[in-house]
Structure 1
């Protein structure tokens, strides 16, 4: 497969003394990089959605740890870990639902704990590894997921799971890219993803860069689209996958999965194994991040709702495993996921 043809975007660029992040709040009309020169700037960028997508958040946090380390004097990694502790905690608190953030910082802590006087070089090498491993995993998952799709299919995706959300190529969007390249996918639909419009601003923009035709729909149009027979798969990413296969993803995923089951469509969740949290037994145990109600009360900074109206703004929902047909990771595919099938692939616990 010609990966380079469908892999042109890089949202995270390490510059040696700073981390440059593609500001996803300003796409699609303004392509602008935000330079972070310390770890707190990276934490703010994660919280404020300059960088978003679970794998990308983890990668950015790892580089944030490197930035924190550049301002620290320590004799070895153990001492550095103590000195870096507050900065790592602030990075961890930036987005509590995305398990990749905790996973990446756990890798950073383990690397530091075992490092000697060269701890800063070890820390940098760990950040590089997290990033390069993600890209390789995405390309492999793309091939695994595409193989499940019958030629000539239509697919619907939600939120953004492409190069912008990862080191490159994407998770669910990587499957779509691979499926298009192999002639398995003929029609791609993306739901707008209120209130931040990641589908409208980011996903269809990404596909446009790759020359892949895509059709945007309103979030509320998904069930009607499914009823027409235009799509056979709903393909989404994940911010956390529990030990029983329950999956937290962008708000609206759950309703898409319910509609898909009613109309006989299949649902595929695509995410690296770092998103699998075998320490969380079920979806009810996931902390769901609540964001500022103002995000629902206004559009582009202009209030669209009468004064005095309140809003409820959870940023994720949980899709039960029973509504998911396949979970695709770089470790393999789990079909009809449940606790036993998840344990067979991931063991009783994912270290970290």
Structure 2
């Protein structure tokens, strides 16, 4: 496996996003299947594993901690706080964004316990809580670094201006945001901001939530609780239009000599050396397919053709519904 750098860590060029082993895309796999997937990734050379307090309301951290605890020295472990499940008076657990220092300290302690580790290598502010100055939230995370509970700090779904404010308080090691052929927002300013401060850019949903794998052809088949259902690009009419873009892209991947998923991941790896994609999967064959993307070589002309086939100029629908759009700080195209 090729490697890339995230702060002081040398990690596999392609990491593993662990969210869908517990959360988000319908019924998660069985614990046994999830364990096989995690161990297969480890055996294949993956060393960056990404989880969060939010995923499965703690269940994903418990899974990752239980399965990988014996291999802790071999991996770079990333998790996130500032957005977690909170049980209300009615007994229902709901997602809450809370970037107050006391909440972040509590989130971190809970994550350490669930992960079964003394320290988290890369701890992200999952969302900037806009009622709390980002300097205050990052200051609390820097306290966790000084306490030896966190090694480095990251941010998720923030703008270049917020990155600079945060970095002035404590060095930012990584910024995580959605980035793929069909979501180019980081190209507005965040990729350059990361490069300027020496931070890695960790690309989540690099396969466009399965769109770029050419395996999701009918959104009506999505589980009722699948998080893609309220996303505008997956609305039936919009998705039908987006599917029209996919077949020329699939044909182009065939010309390149790889699968559509591998083309999408190889495109990210070729965009800049500080980009680390973290695709997620529950399928062992898809895992190996994703990791083999690191072997795909693209010419500048092939990069340009991929970008012309699918991009901001022709994808139909914004990536988030209005509420979710209001919760993030990333720059948007006009």
- The TM-score, its normalising length taken from structure 2, stands at 0.31
Question: Looking at both structures, which has the greater relative contact order when contacts are Cα pairs under 8 Å and sequence separation is at least 6?
Answer: 2
Greater Rg by CA? 1
- The TM-score, its normalising length taken from structure 1, stands at 0.30
